[in-house]
């Protein structure tokens, strides 16, 4: 009976009361849902804009000038923001070309133009359907590593390499071996569509997961060691297998060896560090070896470029080995070291984003039991906000009871106990990473 009397105090079923706890909480997104509400408004705007464009194009015709053609200009490129599309059209002939349903009204011609159109549509399609496939709670890139890695890999790296491919003629013309053939051949450029985006994606994933305090050793070691193995095997192949090195490059094997050594040593250091050392040590050694390799590589380049003709020629021949294998010999060392660093670095708080939602209503203070007994927290400060600001509020990390009274009343659904879980895990992980700690 007493229960009936105070039923209004009980908060289940009311909006804002959390239903699920823990970092993988998926329910109850605060804010307005995307599909019916946001889309309706967006469609209105889109249609208005389209109508405006139709109107303008019908009544105000812009002057376009004559179309570009090979007769007028040698190199045809679109504006810079469409270079990726141009590159995709150029690369489209790698796909099989065939015709389905020839002789029927449904005849479809899978030619290079079709594949190019499809490829250039993919980024746009991906952007368009992203809100529908991703219904998760987190919109912030740092908190959804898979999505962010895909985004970085395809929306940035892929588009960049596609743009690069669109000017392949310029590249081929600009960098040449002493005997006049292009340094970076077409096959290497085509592989740019695959290997750099994949490396970028994996690196972003590992870095972002580490940002969220995941121990990434299990990912790191196979990745870094695998890249190292590939590069080492390829370097060995260059030297040992007779056919791999052209007769022109033979005289410059020593210089080539120096460059390869500079590329391989930091990878080996990173692999060993990631495998064997505690985290703080591993971080130091990876950074040291990476910076050293960078400096040495730069110094070598400057030395060979500036010290007379024979050295310059030697450098060009070395490049003629390195550049066609750029996907592996140059990019993989860079990404191995970078990933090793990102995967062992000390992460910073991702919960800053979450706690940022607090608008200091102070409800948590009124219910927090600890603020009732801590002498200096009696004044009525705000729990979440001040914890975020690292201002002592009587409930620092180790005093909190994690009783969740604050989360139960929070109008913005901030899970203070999640924060406590993460922060405590962070302290403990830091102690463990630095070799044991007090316990």
Binding site for another protein (CB under 8 A): 2-3, 6, 9-12, 17-22, 215, 280, 283-284, 287, 291, 345-346, 367, 369-370, 372-376, 378, 392, 394, 396-399, 401-405, 407-408, 417, 420-421, 423-429, 431-432, 434, 437-439
* Exposure class string for 330-364: b at 16+ Cβ within 10 A, else e: bbbbbbbbbbbbbbbbebebbbeebbeebeeeebb
Side-chain half-sphere of 129: how many Cα atoms within 13 Å? 6
Please report how close the Cβ of residue 335 comes to another protein at its closest, in angstroms: 20
**Cβ closest to another protein, residue 183 vs residue 355:** 355
**Cβ closest to another protein, residue 253 vs residue 287:** 287
The torsion angles phi and psi of 98, rounded to 5 degrees, stand at -155, 175
Q: For 253-397, where are the alpha helices, taking DSSP H only?
A: 253-276, 279-306, 308-322, 331-344, 351-355, 363-367, 370-373, 383-388
Please report how close the Cβ of residue 429 comes to another protein at its closest, in angstroms: 7
Q: Token pair of 279, please? A: 């985290």
Please report how close the Cβ of residue 315 comes to another protein at its closest, in angstroms: 29
Structural contact between residues 249 and 317, judged by C-beta atoms closer than 8 angstroms? yes
**Cβ closest to another protein, residue 249 vs residue 410:** 410
Please report how close the Cβ of residue 18 comes to another protein at its closest, in angstroms: 6
**Cβ closest to another protein, residue 57 vs residue 399:** 399
Please report how close the Cβ of residue 403 comes to another protein at its closest, in angstroms: 4
Q: Which residues contact 22 (CB under 8 A, 6 or more apart)?
A: 418
**Cβ closest to another protein, residue 265 vs residue 403:** 403
Q: For 182-278, where are the alpha helices, taking DSSP H only?
A: 186-191, 195-211, 217-240, 253-276
Q: How far is CA 122 from CA 111, 125, 366, in A?
A: 17, 5, 52
Please report how close the Cβ of residue 3 comes to another protein at its closest, in angstroms: 7
**Cβ closest to another protein, residue 361 vs residue 421:** 421
**Cβ closest to another protein, residue 27 vs residue 79:** 27
Give me the residues paired with residue 109 across strands. Answer: 99
Please report how close the Cβ of residue 364 comes to another protein at its closest, in angstroms: 13
Side-chain half-sphere of 280: how many Cα atoms within 13 Å? 9
């Amino acid at each position: 009976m007493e229960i009936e009397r105070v039923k209004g105090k009980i908060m289940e079923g009311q909006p804002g009361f959390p239903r699920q706890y823990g970092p993988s909480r998926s329910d109850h997104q605060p804010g307005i849902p995307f599909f019916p509400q946001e889309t309706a408004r967006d469609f209105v705007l889109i249609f208005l804009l389209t109508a405006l464009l139709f109107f303008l194009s019908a009544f105000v015709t812009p002057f376009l000038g004559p179309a570009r053609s090979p007769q007028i200009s040698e190199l045809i490129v679109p504006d810079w923001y469409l270079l990726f599309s141009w590159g995709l059209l150029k690369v489209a002939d790698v796909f099989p070309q065939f015709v389905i349903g020839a002789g029927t009204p449904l005849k479809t011609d899978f030619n290079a133009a079709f594949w190019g159109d499809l490829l250039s549509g993919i980024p746009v399609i991906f952007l368009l359907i992203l809100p529908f496939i991703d219904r998760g709670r987190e919109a912030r890139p740092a908190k959804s590593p898979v999505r962010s890695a895909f985004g970085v890999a395809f929306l940035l790296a892929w588009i960049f390499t596609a743009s690069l491919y669109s000017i392949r003629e310029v590249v081929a013309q600009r960098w040449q071996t002493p005997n006049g053939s292009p340094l970076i051949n077409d096959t290497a450029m085509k592989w740019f569509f695959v290997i750099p985006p994949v490396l970028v994606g994996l690196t972003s994933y590992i870095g972002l997961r580490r940002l969220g305090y995941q121990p990434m050793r299990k990912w790191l070691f196979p990745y870094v060691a695998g890249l190292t193995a590939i590069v080492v095997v390829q370097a060995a192949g260059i030297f040992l297998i007779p056919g791999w090195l052209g007769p022109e490059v033979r005289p410059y094997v020593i210089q080539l060896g120096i460059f390869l050594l500079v590329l391989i040593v930091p990878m080996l250091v990173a692999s060993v560090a990631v495998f064997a050392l505690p985290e703080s040590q591993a971080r130091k050694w990876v950074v040291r070896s990476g910076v050293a390799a960078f400096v040495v590589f730069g110094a070598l380049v400057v030395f060979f470029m500036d010290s007379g003709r024979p050295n310059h020629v030697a450098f060009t021949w070395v490049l003629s080995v390195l550049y066609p294998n750029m996907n592996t010999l140059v990019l993989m060392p860079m990404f191995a070291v970078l990933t090793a660093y990102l995967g062992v670095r000390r992460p910073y708080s991702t919960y800053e984003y979450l706690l940022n939602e607090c608008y200091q209503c102070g409800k948590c203070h009124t219910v927090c039991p600890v603020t009732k007994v801590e002498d200096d927290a009696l004044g009525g400060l705000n729990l979440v906000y001040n914890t975020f600001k690292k201002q002592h509020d009587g409930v620092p990390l180790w005093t909190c009871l994690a009783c969740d009274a604050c989360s139960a009343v929070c109008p913005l659904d901030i899970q203070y106990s999640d924060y406590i879980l993460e922060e405590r895990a962070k302290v403990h992980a830091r102690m463990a990473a630095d070799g044991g700690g007090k316990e």
